A and B are shown apart, each in its own frame.
Chain A
Amino acid sequence: MRILVQESPFDFAAEAEAFAKGRADLGAVVTFTGQVRDSGGLARMEIEHYPGMTEKALRGIAEEARSRWSLGEVLVIHRHGRLLPGERIMMVATAARHRRDAFEAAEFLMDYLKSRAPFWKKEHFAEGAAWVEAKDEDEDALTRW
């Protein structure tokens, strides 16, 4: 299990290349990455987090995924600080014997990262800034697990 919380960019290609490399027992690898979306006029995004709790929460979510699905490897990387539109915010990767476990666990990780990991996004525009509000559907997404 590899959990990284960092301000600096991460090398998606290198992480994906190294993840579960050579593991003949793991037939399925899923990677997901999230990027800063600009729905119009976004200058930058600031991501605040709760140092200490963030790492614990991510580890807890990843451990929960391992207890629910048969996973060989799990990777979670999440950035904080200042990001520009199009920059990669985070990635998750899961590796399992079969693809169903890998896909479902990756979706589970994403759903929980959205509303159970202590990050807060603030969008900055030319004319001001606004905190991104949590969506009801993000909370609802947890009920399916």
Chain B
Amino acid sequence: MDVLYFAWLRERIGAPKDRIETEAATVNELVEELRAREERYALAFADLSALRVALDQELADFDAPLAGVREVAFFPPMTGG
């Protein structure tokens, strides 16, 4: 699946996107896998209360299942308008 990062999360990870093969059943499990990858991921995902997640471009919760999901995006709270 494609995992996208935006704003300061993208900057901290140093890439806008990863393509990941995963068995993670939920967003939380995916986050654990990402944290285990490298220090910069662990730092970027240190505080989940500062992050939001979208599954296939719809806002979701971190305990949401990943079955059938093709695109996961992580980002800080939005500042539009």
Residues of A at the B interface (CB closer than 8 Å) are 34, 48, 50, 52-53, 56-57, 78, 89-90, 110, 113-122, 131-134, 139
Q: Which residue of B lies closest to A58 (CB)?
A: B80
Number of interface residues of B (CB under 8 A): 17
For residue B7, which residues in chain A have a CB less than 8 angstroms away from its CB? 48, 120, 122, 131
A53 B78 Cβ-Cβ under 8 A: no
Interchain CB contact under 8 A, B6 and A118:
yes
Shortest B44–chain A CB gap in Å is 13
Check B79–A50 contact: CB distance below 8 A: no
In the complex the two chains form, is A53's CB within 8 Å of B81's CB? Answer: no
- Count CB-based A-B contacts (< 8 Å): 69
Report the Cα distance A118→B73, complex, angstroms.
11
Please tell me if B62 contacts chain A, counting CB pairs below 8 Å. Answer: no
In the bound complex, residues from chain B placing their C-beta under 8 Å from that of A50 are: 4, 6, 54, 57, 73, 75
Smallest CB gap from A109: residue in B: B81
Cα A122 to Cα B54 with chains together (Å) = 21
B80 touches A114 (CB 8 A): yes
Please, what's the 1-or-0 string for B57-81, where 1 marks a CB less than 8 Å from any CB in chain A? 1110000000000000101111111
